[in-house]
Amino acid sequence: MAKRVENLKTKTSLLNRAKDSFTLFELVIVILIVGIVTFLAVASIPNLEDKSAKTVYLRTLPQFLKDFEEKELDFYILGMDCDEAVLLSNGDEVVFENELQIPNDLRVYRFNYYGEMRNFKYPDLRIGEVSKRVCLRFQKFSNGSTSSLILEDEKGDTFHIYRPLKDFSETFENLRDAEESLLAEELNPKSL
């Protein structure tokens, strides 16, 4: 009799545990719901890798131009607020769908005829009947080289050097260091 009572207690406790736990069907439903929610959450996040590939920054400007098939390109940042961009190849406009992340207040420095670093102002560009202020003109030449210049960002705390045969700019914290680095390369090119 005691054994029978013990068996009944064991069966009762097993049945009570079964009532408290999930059935296989309920577990499958929960896993499906979690999977669907996860899929929707991941799909709604924009693909950051694609976005970064489509965005042009000051640092990646030379590489952006080298990726085009055209041998010679002129990249202009235009407008009073420096918020427009035009890419020209032999006078014809080249369409590009990249987003620009370039500061509005660019200051361009180049060496003048006497080898002195000067703030450079570009002449206006005439497109059709409209003349627009040029904030920056960056060129890609037929031999694959690019413009050689220094750009100061809008905060005045970063200077980007563009060298003719480099894909990326170098960054300096002050104009004097940037000038010395660019001048050393111009006077003693190691790339030749």
Q: Counting every residue, how long is the chain?
A: 192
150 within 8 A of 159, measured Cβ to Cβ: yes
Q: Tell me what the mean pLDDT of segment 142-157 comes to.
A: 75
Q: Tell me what the mean pLDDT of segment 59-79 comes to.
A: 77
Confidence of residue 15 (pLDDT cuts 50, 70, 90): low
Can you give the pLDDT at residue 32?
Answer: 93
57 within 8 A of 103, measured Cβ to Cβ: no
Residue 157 has pLDDT above 70, yes or no: yes
Confidence of residue 34 (pLDDT cuts 50, 70, 90): very high
As a whole number, the mean pLDDT across the chain is 75
Q: Which of 31-35, 79-83, 121-125, 152-156 has the lowest mean pLDDT?
A: 152-156
Burial group, residue 189, by CB count within 10 angstroms (0-12, 13-18, 19+): exposed
More reliable by pLDDT, 92 or 129: 129
Q: Both tokens of residue 117? A: 């670093």
Per-residue burial over 137-153, b if 16 or more Cβ lie within 10 Å, else e, is: bbbbeeeebbbbbbbbb
Q: Tell me what the mean pLDDT of segment 118-142 comes to.
A: 83
Q: Which helix (H) or strand (E) holds 177?
A: helix 175-187
Residue 49 has pLDDT above 50, yes or no: no
Confidence of residue 36 (pLDDT cuts 50, 70, 90): very high
Residue 95 has pLDDT above 60, yes or no: yes
The residue ranges of DSSP E strands in the chain, in sequence order, are 55-57, 73-78, 84-89, 92-93, 99-101, 107-111, 117-120, 125-127, 130-132, 134-140, 149-152, 159-162, 170-172
Can you give the pLDDT at residue 29?
Answer: 92
Confidence of residue 41 (pLDDT cuts 50, 70, 90): confident
